[in-house]
Chains A and B, each alone.
Chain A
Amino acid sequence: MKRKIIFWISGTIVALAGVILSRLLAPQLSGVFNKITLVCGYLLALAGIIVLAYACRPANLKPD
Chain B
Amino acid sequence: MSGADFLNLFQGIATMVSGDPLITAGRIMLIIAGITLVFLGAKGTLEPLIMIPMGMGMASVNAAVLYLSATTTGTIFIDPMVSDPAKLFDALQINFLQPIYTFTFSNGLIACLLFLGIGVITDIGYIMMAPFKGMLIAIFAELGTILTFPLAVWIGLTYKEAAAISVVGGADGPMVLFTSLILAKDLFVPITIVAYLYLSLTYGGYPYLIRLMVPKRLRGIKMDLKNIPKISRMEKITFSVITSTILCLLFPVAAPLFMSFFLGVIIKESGVKRFLEFLEGPVLYGATFFLGLLLGVLCEASTILNPKVMNLLILGIFALLLSGIGGILGGYVLYFATKGKFNPVIGIAGVSCIPTTAKVAQKEIQKVNHRAIILPYAMGASVSGVITTAIIAGIFVTILR
Q: Are A19 and B131 in contact (CB under 8 A)?
A: no
CB nearest neighbor in B for A47: B135
Q: Are B391 and A53 in contact (CB under 8 A)?
A: no
Determine, out of B78-86, B153-161, B231-239, the stretch whose residues face the partner at the interface.
B231-239
Tell me, rounded to whole Å, the shortest Cβ–Cβ distance linking A48 to chain B: 7
List A contacts of B250 (CB < 8 A).
Answer: 18-19, 22-23, 41-42, 45
Tell me, rounded to whole Å, the shortest Cβ–Cβ distance linking A20 to chain B: 9
CA distance A47 to B229 in the complex (A): 20
List A contacts of B235 (CB < 8 A).
Answer: 55-56
CA distance A64 to B129 in the complex (A): 8
Q: Are A56 and B239 in contact (CB under 8 A)?
A: yes
Q: Which of A1-54 contact B (CB under 8 A)?
A: 8, 11-12, 15-16, 18-19, 22-23, 38, 41-42, 45-46, 48-50, 52-54
B253 at the interface (CB under 8 A from A): no
B27 at the interface (CB under 8 A from A): no
Residue among B127, B131, B238, B395 making CB contact with A42, cutoff 8 Å: B395
B69 at the interface (CB under 8 A from A): no
Determine, out of B97-105, B241-249, B281-289, the stretch whose residues face the partner at the interface.
B241-249
Residues of B in contact with A, size category? 20 to 34
Residues of A in contact with B, size category? 20 to 34
CB nearest neighbor in B for A8: B238
Check A56/B391 contact, CB under 8 A, given A45-B246, A46-B135, A64-B130.
no
Tell me, rounded to whole Å, the shortest Cβ–Cβ distance linking B325 to chain A: 22
List B contacts of A48 (CB < 8 A).
Answer: 246
CA distance A12 to B391 in the complex (A): 17
Q: Are B239 and A61 in contact (CB under 8 A)?
A: no
Residue among B227, B246, B387, B391 making CB contact with A15, cutoff 8 Å: B246
CA distance A46 to B142 in the complex (A): 15
CA distance A42 to B139 in the complex (A): 13
Residue among A16, A38, A53, A64 making CB contact with B239, cutoff 8 Å: A53
Q: Are B132 and A61 in contact (CB under 8 A)?
A: no
Interface, chain A (partner B; CB < 8 A): 8, 11-12, 15-16, 18-19, 22-23, 38, 41-42, 45-46, 48-50, 52-58, 61-62, 64
Q: List 27 A-B contacts (CB under 8 A).
A: A8-B242, A12-B246, A15-B242, A19-B246, A19-B249, A22-B250, A38-B399, A41-B250, A42-B391, A42-B395, A46-B135, A46-B391, A49-B243, A49-B246, A50-B131, A50-B132, A50-B135, A52-B243, A54-B131, A55-B235, A56-B125, A56-B128, A56-B235, A57-B229, A62-B227, A64-B130, A64-B132
Interface, chain B (partner A; CB < 8 A): 125, 127-133, 135, 227, 229, 231-232, 235, 238-239, 242-243, 246-247, 249-250, 387, 391, 395, 399
